[in-house]
A = this chain, B = another copy of it.
Amino acid sequence: MTTTEIGQAYSRVRTYSEQICEPLETEDYVPQPVAFVSPPKWHLAHSTWFFETFILKNLVPNYKVYDPDFNYLFNSYYNNIGERTIRTDRGNVTRPTTRNVYAYRKYVDAQMLELLDELADPAALAMVELGLHHEQQHQELLVTDIKYILGHNPLFPVYRPGCNLVDGTNPATGWEQIPEGVYEIGHEGPGFCFDNELGRHKVYLHSFEISRALVTNAEYIDFINAGGYRDFNLWMDEGWSWVTHSNIAAPMYWYRQDGEWYYYTLDGFKKINPEAPVAHISFYEASAYAQWKGMRLPTEFEWEIASQTIPWGLRWEWTNSAYLPYPGFSKAPGAVGEYNGKFMINQMVLRGASVATSPGHSRFTYRNFFHAHERWQYTGIRLAR
């Protein structure tokens, strides 16, 4: 990107985070109902801390940090401060206030924009670009974490009237055929990518077919009605434990009332749209559904090849690939190197993007990843055979 472009991108991305939070009440910024959901206040501060720590402190001479305490409150890791060590849960840190966090953003933004006016060093620009993509990742988490917080309130509050992200429908049907052969996988070229997409390399694919449409709510209800959640033969062993111990019988946010299915959406409690692609399901559920249909999930390599000719972008799509390094993967030295590599165990790859993904934050080679039981993201199912 040019200096002008990056300045514009910076403003656009930073503003978008705050637009996501516009409908919130102050109280909504605070809680962390489960470990994997962070308080909106924390997302806003943490993405700001990234720019302060990796750009401003390194590049602005005599930069004065906004508040020295913020370093251990808003980096992502466990901290201690000598003998006064306190381990805190993010959801209990009421101070700094939301107002103060917005002031922090304003302070950092002003300094960043001043800096960006004349920043030309390619390594520094790359770090800014990484910061923007990092903030876009937190934007999607903001949306899903807000949904989690409001959706676990017995009052089912509306986030934004009319903002029902889950009701879009499949733009295509039928099956795409991909022939056997050696294919190239991974990112190459000038655009941005994360380190886990690098190392463009060859894979051998056997011929396969992949659905042009995602599994719909109506199809998924068939699975439920056929007893899919009660037939252990369809499930991974650990998936069956999860279903049993957590009493799972439907996707997250689904409720059955008087024989009808409803779901919580960001527009409130609604009757389920049968034609929309199913959302908020775990890998275990995606895998059991595929097993029930006598089919399977695609690998991430099959997906990457097929995605160049089929429509995608409504749901993060579970693949049957574990999140592992590409040949030649190496971690950058220091804190930035912790971005991806250390999570390459016990997680499954999702490909595509979702209705909650920020504009401009998707590409064929993007590798998203979550644990097999996680489902608070807008996750869905595409079948292969």
User: Which A residues lie at the B interface, using CB under 8 A?
Assistant: 25-31, 33, 41, 69, 72-73, 81-84, 86, 88-89, 91-98, 149-150, 152-155, 157, 182, 201-204, 206, 208, 233, 235-240, 255-258, 283-284, 287, 296, 320-322, 324-325, 327-328, 337-338, 342-346, 348, 372
Please tell me if the beta carbons of B33 and A31 are within 8 angstroms of each other in the complex. no
Residue of B nearest to A180 (CB): B202
Bound CA span A98–B96, Å: 18
Do A342 and B235 have beta carbons less than 8 Å apart? yes
Q: In the assembled complex, which residues on chain B have CB atoms less than 8 Å from the CB atom of A97?
A: 25-27
**Could you name 8 residue pairs across A and B whose Cβ atoms are closer than 8 Å?**
A27-B94, A28-B95, A33-B89, A94-B153, A233-B338, A238-B345, A240-B342, A345-B348
Contact call B82/A257, Cβ cutoff below 8 A: yes
* Distance of A289 from chain B, by nearest CB (Å): 15
Contacts of A203 in B (CB 8 A): 203-204
Contacts of A204 in B (CB 8 A): 182, 201-204
Residues of B within 8 A of A95 (CB): 25, 27-28, 150, 153, 155, 157
Copies per assembly: 4
> A201 contacts which chain B residues (CB < 8 A)?
204, 206
Please report the C-alpha to C-alpha distance between residue A8 and residue B113 in the assembled complex, in whole angstroms: 59
Residues of B within 8 A of A31 (CB): 30-31, 91-92, 94
Give the distance to chain B from A69, nearest Cβ to Cβ, in Å.
6
Q: Nearest chain B CB to A184's CB is how many angstroms away? A: 10
Complex interface: chain B residues within 8 A of A28 (CB) = 94-95
Partner among B153, B283, B324, B328 whose Cβ is within 8 Å of the Cβ of A322: B324
Residue in A30, A73, A182 with the greatest tally of chain B CB atoms within 10 Å: A30
Instruction: Please name all residues of chain B whose beta carbon is closer than 8 Å to the beta carbon of A237 when the two chains form the complex.
Output: 342-343, 345
Measured CA separation A152–B84 after assembly (Å): 11
Instruction: Give A287's nearest chain B residue, CB to CB.
Output: B345
Contact of A83 among B26, B256, B321 (CB under 8 A): B256
- Give the chain B neighbours of A337 by CB distance below 8 A: 233
In the complex, the 7 A-B pairs of residues with the closest C-beta atoms, listed nearest first? A322-B322, A27-B94, A33-B92, A204-B204, A26-B26, A30-B30, A237-B342
List 15 additional contacts besides A86-B152, A206-B328, A322-B322; criterion CB under 8 Å.
Answer: A27-B27, A31-B92, A33-B92, A73-B155, A81-B154, A83-B255, A86-B154, A92-B152, A93-B154, A95-B153, A95-B155, A238-B345, A287-B345, A320-B325, A345-B372
Given contact pairs A27-B97, A325-B320, A84 touches B257 in the complex (Cβ within 8 A): yes
